[in-house]
Each structure stands twice: as C-alpha cells, then as structure tokens.
Amino acid sequence: MDGDFLKRLRQYAQERHIPVMREKTADLLKKCLLKVNPKKILEVGTSVGFSGILSLSVTDARLVSIEINEDIFLQAARNFKEAGLYDRARLILGDCYQTLMMIDASFDFIILDGPKGHMKELTELVFPMLNYGGVIFVDNIYFHDKVKAQGFIPHKHRTIVANMRKFLDYIASNDSMKVEIYNIDDGVAVIEKIKNE
C-alpha cells in the first residue's frame, strides 16, 4: 500500500458523502492501536474500509469487520484488495446485532463505528469478547454535539441522544472498564478492560 492510499480513500468517500472516520479520530485510533498492538481486531461499521485499512496498516493484526450496506461492503472488499490487506481481513455483510451473536472469538481491540442508537447494548454484547487489557474504541459519542447540548433536543434525535447518555453513564460507572473520553471531532470513548467479569 502506498503512503497516499488512505488520503485518496478519504477523498473518494468524501466526494460520495460516505462517512469515514474523521482525521483527529483516525490519529487517535492509530495511537491506541500502536499502544495495544492487537493481534485480533473486531470492527462494527466497515464503511469503505478506511479505519479497517488504517488498522491493518499499523499492526500485524487480523481484522473481522461488519457492514450492513451491500454496496458499501463491496467497495470495502475492493479497497482492502487494492491495499494488499485482504488476506488479513474477514469482511462480513450483515447486521451487527445478528452477526455478533454468531461470532465465537475473542479480540484485543474493538472499534464501534456502526449504528449509534444502542451503544450500551452493543458494548454489553462485545465486552465479553474483549480480552483483558484490550480496548474498545467508540466513535461519535456526542452524536453531532447533540449529546453535549443543554435544553431542547429535536424529537427525531431524542431517543438516540438519551441512549447515548445512558451509554456514557454506563461506562463511567462500570468498574471493569477504565474509560478515557476525548473531546475531538464528534467525541471518542476509549474503554480499556481492566477486570474480567
């Protein structure tokens, strides 16, 4: 993979309004990956493969990544191949809630960057799959700043905002987790597993 591959992939996604991880968040992801040095990574929300390709390019890990949108999934497969990283990636087309139930494996690093509506439930689902000392990296915890906003929340966002606040309370009060919140881009939570339940 040449040095500009990820730059070109970000541009490709932006031109097509396909969401990929923002730059500061991607820098933080890279730092966390270098620190943990995972052998096995799970990702929820492949998109066109930006964060997955980044993850494989800075580690020698294997990646399992789940994407619900078939068209985007096919683009991701093409991009992993083009990057020369397809042999370390297992891309799964499907809904993460259903797919995760069928995965019988453990991981050192988990990226939650898929659906934002039920983050507490999603975290509860993947936490048992995380090895001791491993990390869950959660993007968009502020849901376009609405989670931080005081006062009126438009009706269409009320449930998702309430659920994200529930998630933040849950991780803050869980003594199996060491949590760091990063006020960058749309907010990131980095959760380390410090106790086996």
Ligand X SMILES: C[S@@+](CC[C@H](N)C(=O)[O-])C[C@H]1O[C@@H](n2cnc3c(N)ncnc32)[C@H](O)[C@@H]1O
Our CB check for ligand X shows the closer of 66 and 161 to be: 66
Q: Tell me, residue by residue from 149 to 188, as one string, x for binding to ligand X by CB under 6 A and - for no binding.
A: ----------------------------------------
Q: Tell me, residue by residue from 76 to 95, as one string, x for binding to ligand X by CB under 6 A and - for no binding.
A: -------------------x
Strand 177-182 and strand 188-193: pairing? antiparallel
Alpha helices in the chain (DSSP H): 5-15, 23-36, 50-58, 70-82, 96-102, 119-126, 155-172
CA angle 87, 88, 92 (to 5 degrees): 90
Token pair 């009706």 is found at 155
Percentages of the chain per state (helix, strand, coil), in multiples of 5: 45, 20, 35
Which range, of 18-26, 124-132, 152-160, 166-174, touches ligand X by CB under 6 A? 18-26
Our CB check for ligand X shows the closer of 32 and 174 to be: 32
- The pair of structure tokens assigned to 77 is 């497969």
Choose which of 33, 36, 41, 45 interacts with ligand X (CB under 6 A): 45
Q: Decide: is 134 part of the binding site for ligand X (CB under 6 A).
A: no
Which range, of 67-75, 151-159, 162-170, 178-186, touches ligand X by CB under 6 A? 67-75
Choose which of 5, 12, 19, 120 interacts with ligand X (CB under 6 A): 19
Q: Decide: is 55 part of the binding site for ligand X (CB under 6 A).
A: no
Q: Decide: is 50 part of the binding site for ligand X (CB under 6 A).
A: yes
Token pair 């042999």 is found at 87
Q: Spell out the residues 6+ positions from residue 33 whose beta carbon is closer than 8 angstroms to its own.
A: 41, 55, 58, 59, 109
Choose which of 38, 64, 89, 113 interacts with ligand X (CB under 6 A): 113
Which residue type does 89 have?
Answer: A
Task: Catalog residues that contact ligand X under the rule CB under 6 A.
Answer: 19-21, 44-45, 47, 50-51, 66-69, 72, 95-96, 113-115
